[in-house]
Amino acid sequence: MISVKNLGKIYADEGSETVALRDISLEIKKGEFVSIMGPSGSGKSTLLHVLSFLDRSTSGTYTFLGKGTTDLSDAELAHIRNKEIGFVFQSFNLLSRSPVYENVEVPLMYSDVPTSKRKELIERAVESVGLKDKIGVEAGRLSGGQKQRVAIARALVNDPNVIFADEPTGNLDSKSGAQIMEILENLHGAGRTIILVTHETYTAEFADRLIRLKDGLVESDLPTGKKHRHGKEFFK
């Protein structure tokens, strides 16, 4: 699904340069659950932003679903991002005064999904994260864990090929974090490709594979040896 070769990213600011990624090469197959870890400044968020088309690399090549993306226009990348990718962020990024229904609907407003089909897709996504009874509630009135579940429903509503989760448990207590990781684990079990950025080892180990970055380089890329487990028990 994803293949990058010799990927580099340099940020230039007023005459100075910061190297965020250095010569990164890796592949991620459809259906994998991959965690990316590393200390602050290691490049993990930059890598996620490049892989999810929120940013462009400075050098190297990126192939997504068999298609080279390096020379695509911003509009073409935006189309791929909306159709093929779902996002879950640490800060939820919800419209706090809008109900759950309208928050989950947002990606569909930029898609070619007919209005007549939206209601079914939204309700299915909301139900899949256990919030059917909250569909008309303003997002700002929900708990942190519920907000993140809304964010996951929003990420799912377009039936994306891959879900990128950036520190999805970072603003949650351990119980809510466990519930979010269970949902992601279940989505992976249903065949979703998930790429998770985290600084928490216990969260990273829900994945099948762990990529560690340091100073913009891949320090290691190994299987986690994950065993079947239940999230709530694992977070105790």
* CA–CA gap between residue 180 and residue 167 (Å, rounded): 11
Q: What is the pLDDT of residues 158-204, one digit of tens each?
A: 999 999 999 999 999 999 999 999 999 999 999 999 999 998 888 99
Please give the backbone phi and psi of residue 120, each rounded to the nearest 5 degrees, phi first. Answer: -60, -45
- Give the DSSP H/E element, type plus range, for residue 62: strand 59-64
For residue 20, give the nearest of 59, 73, 52 by alpha carbon: 59
Structure tokens given for 72: 């695509």
Look at residue 229 in the predicted model and tell me its pLDDT. Answer: 47
User: Which are the contacts of 166, defined by CB distance < 8 A and separation ≥ 6?
Assistant: 45, 48, 87, 88, 89, 90, 197
Look at residue 232 in the predicted model and tell me its pLDDT. Answer: 38
* Angle (nearest 5°) at CA 171 between 166 and 177: 80
For residue 73, name the pLDDT band (cuts at 50, 70, 90). Answer: very high
Look at residue 111 in the predicted model and tell me its pLDDT. Answer: 85
What one-character-per-residue DSSP string does 205-225 give? TTSSEEEEEETTEEEEEEE--
Would you call 147 helix, strand, or coil by DSSP? helix
Q: What is the DSSP letter of 183?
A: H
Q: What is the pLDDT of residues 119-156, one digit of tens each?
A: 999 999 999 999 999 999 999 999 999 999 999 999 99
Core vs surface per residue 102-124: b (16+ CB within 10 A) or e? bbbbebbeeeebeeeebeebbbe
Q: What is the pLDDT of residues 17-68, one digit of tens each?
A: 999 999 999 999 999 999 999 998 999 999 999 999 999 999 999 999 999 9
* CA–CA gap between residue 165 and residue 148 (Å, rounded): 11
Average pLDDT, the chain: 91
For residue 21, give the nearest of 220, 198, 221, 213 by alpha carbon: 213
* CA–CA gap between residue 118 and residue 123 (Å, rounded): 9
